[in-house]
Amino acid sequence: MRSAKPIALLIAGLLMAALHGNCACAEIRVQGAADNVRVEAVGATVVEILAALGEHYQVRYRGSPGSGRVIATFEGPLRRVLVRVLKGNDFAIKAGGDGFEVIVLSRESSAAVTAVVPTSLVRRPALRVQGSADDVRVETNGATAVEILAALGEHYPVHCRGTPESGGVIATFEGPLRRVLVHVLQGNDFVIKGGGDQLDVIILSRGSATAASPAVTATIGPSFLTK
């Protein structure tokens, strides 16, 4: 009877070779200053590339980007490299004093997402919206941010995803539509995408009593990529 030991050794060798091959096929090389980054990726996932960038620069990310493997070279300022690495995902990039935070809103998809704020929401009589999109005036006496967003959505091309802080607001907001949205959502973690004929508001988390200012500093999505 033939010994099973040589067969077992052969199988073990094949498994080790396969594992080694999988490791060897993914390669990432990152170099350069933040204003002149060069990333060489061979078989690496977007998550692996983001992790490598996070080891070299002030980059953090939330969410799950598409998991396909990438064979490409990315060059340019750090923000532009991030945009190109994330191409095909629905995402936003927030700039801070010490770097960038990437928020992946959904994996690669072209499907439209339905707004969670119903435009048919019955508003309180004290909520009044008037003016053109570049000169909005909102007067509210106890209405919630959800109600204000719904009212703005009935007057202007505004869509919202997520649930903002629900406390009542007593205030008057004036100015361009984007600025009014930022003031209405103060204290929430959010991003605003778009411009011109469409603004999309994405609430990342509800408001906090410790939040001192709006979270939005920059937004980028698949429809606004720079070459």
Instruction: Give 41-52 pLDDT, tens digit per residue.
Output: 998 999 999 999
17 vs 159, more confident:
159
Query: How many angstroms separate the CA atoms of 8 and 77, rounded?
Result: 51
Say if residue 222's pLDDT is above 70: no
For the CA atoms of 44, 48, 49, 55, what is the dihedral angle to 10 degrees?
-140
Provide the pLDDT confidence category of residue 118 given band limits of 50, 70 and 90. Answer: very low
Query: How many angstroms separate the CA atoms of 24 and 12, rounded?
Result: 18
CATH value of 128-216 in 2.40.50, 1.25.40, 1.10.287, 3.55.50: 3.55.50
**What is the CATH topology of the domain spanning 8-106?**
Phage tail protein beta-alpha-beta fold (3.55.50)
Pick the closest to residue 105 from 47, 70, 65 (CA basis).
65
Residues of the chain with CATH 3.55.50: 8-106, 128-216
Cβ proximity of 30 and 39 under 8 Å: yes
Count each helix (H run) and each strand (E run) in the chain, helices first: 5, 12
* Per-residue model confidence as pLDDT tens digits over 178-214: 999 999 988 888 888 876 678 888 888 655 433 333 3
